[in-house]
Structure 1
Amino acid sequence: MARIASGTPPAYAAAEQQADSIAVSKSDRKMYLLRGDTVLKTYDIAMGSAWDQGHKQREGDMRTPEGSYVIDWRNPSSIAHLSLHISYPDTTDSAAAAQAGYSPGGNIMIHGLPNGWGAFGRLHTLLNWTDGCIAVTNAEMQEIWSLTPTGTPITIHASWVP
């Protein structure tokens, strides 16, 4: 495989090849790109180091959110290869955090490995190491970028089976 330049976004796949939703199963550490009820692609993922302690509550809790969101913007110049932003916090998340007196956090992304760390490849999935994001290899991030348009719904489940 050719070396992927850091942050170089690939061309988008044809519309009929793109995912129309994303599902994440935290318990299985898997992310699925779906078109209708068909699984197009499955990825092993790393998440926040406190991924198993439930839904993200506040900034710095190292949890990965649970719930229904959308991919609302993309960053081709990310510090983690490429990244797709997940619309956390939504109004419910923000209200719950405000009521408890803290910031809900934000900047939750699907991303590749930190720039310069791409050689770790799939080894990165041995640990949950992010601050709450969903991490894949750089090659996988290239593929996800091309198959997932902005506006794609993403549902992050504690446990989910396709």
Structure 2
Amino acid sequence: MQIMRLDGKMKFPINMLLLAFFLSACSMQNSGSKLESARVDKNCKPSGNLSQQNESHEKGALKVDYLTPLCNISAPEVFVYKEKRRLYVVQSNVLVRDYPVGLGFHPQGDKEKEGDGRTPEGEFWICVKNAASQFGKSLGLNYPDKKHAERAFFAGIISPVEFRDILLAFENRDKPPWNTVLGGEIFIHSGGAHKDWTNGCVALYDSDMEELFKIAAVGTPVSIRP
């Protein structure tokens, strides 16, 4: 509705002007919300219901859900990144746990022999579970494995018999010999992740090790990377 002023100009009622203003404001807000949604940083920490938010992630991308109950983690994979000093637990392409770790007192490089203070690198699995070790709960890894045995044998460091025994343990997924010059008894155990202090093991804080001990089983794959 328009009102004609005496000077011949058109005048809109004040209620019509207010209505037009609010409609314009609402339209701008909706457009801005869509734009901000498109600019969400993929690296930002999700909040609220993580499982629901992860449904919007790109297919094939690693999802994150630290609220996954322990009882629902039945087929985990463990990844240790030495440079980052982190241990990640992944299940079905979902990162379900993330723990800080301490390494051997000489952490850089792959383990080569007993006493070098290095944490081995490679693809392992858990071959022993010990609920009452020297450092509390612990998970033993199948080091030395085939890769380390082959390197040592062709370098003349281990004997043919030792080489054979390590290969047989690897093929049968048994605990390998831990009494060769390559060393052994490499565990993921409690005791603290405050520094690199072990003889080559991966150390967690006690509360984190309590969780991991419940999650992992004999046969669980453990990948240790530089």
Matches of 2:116 and 2:75, distance apart in 1: 30
Structure label with greater radius of gyration = 2
Which of 94, 104, 107 aligns to 2:185? It is 107
Aligned to 1:57: 112
Contact 1:70 / 1:152 at 8 angstroms: preserved in 2? yes
Where do 1:1-162 residues align within 5 Å?
13-14=70-71, 16-52=72-108, 54-98=109-153, 99-101=155-157, 103-113=181-191, 124-158=192-226
Contact 2:129 / 2:217 at 8 angstroms: preserved in 1? no
1:157 to 1:128, Cα distance in 2 relative to 1, 3 A: same
- Once the two structures are superposed, residues 87-121 of structure 1 have per-residue CA deviations (whole angstroms, 9 ceiling, x without a partner) of 111022123224342611000000011xxxxxxxx
Deviation at 1:17, TM superposition (A): 1.9
Deviation at 1:38, TM superposition (A): 0.9
**Percent of residue pairs identical:** 31
Matches of 1:58 and 1:21, distance apart in 2: 27
Matches of 2:83 and 2:112, distance apart in 1: 18
Give the structure, 1 or 2, with the largest relative contact order (CA under 8 Å, sep 6 or more).
1
Any idea what SS the aligned residue of 2:111 has? coil
Contact 1:46 / 1:130 at 8 angstroms: preserved in 2? yes
Any idea what SS the aligned residue of 1:41 has? strand
Give the total of aligned pairs. Answer: 134
Contact 2:141 / 2:185 at 8 angstroms: preserved in 1? yes
Matches of 1:71 and 1:125, distance apart in 2: 20
With structure 1 as the length reference, what TM-score do the two structures score? 0.77
Matches of 1:19 and 1:30, distance apart in 2: 20
Which amino acid in structure 2 is aligned with residue 106 of structure 1?
A: G
Deviates more, 1:40-49 or 1:87-96: 87-96
- Once the two structures are superposed, residues 129-161 of structure 1 have per-residue CA deviations (whole angstroms, 9 ceiling, x without a partner) of 000000001111110000112110010011xxx
Structure 2: tracts of 5 or more residues without a match: 1-69, 159-180
Contact 1:19 / 1:40 at 8 angstroms: preserved in 2? no
Matches of 2:156 and 2:106, distance apart in 1: 20
Which amino acid in structure 1 is aligned with residue 117 of structure 2?
A: M
Matches of 2:211 and 2:93, distance apart in 1: 20
Deviation at 1:63, TM superposition (A): 0.3
Any idea what SS the aligned residue of 2:212 has? helix
Which amino acid in structure 2 is aligned with residue 31 of structure 1?
A: L
Matches of 1:19 and 1:56, distance apart in 2: 28
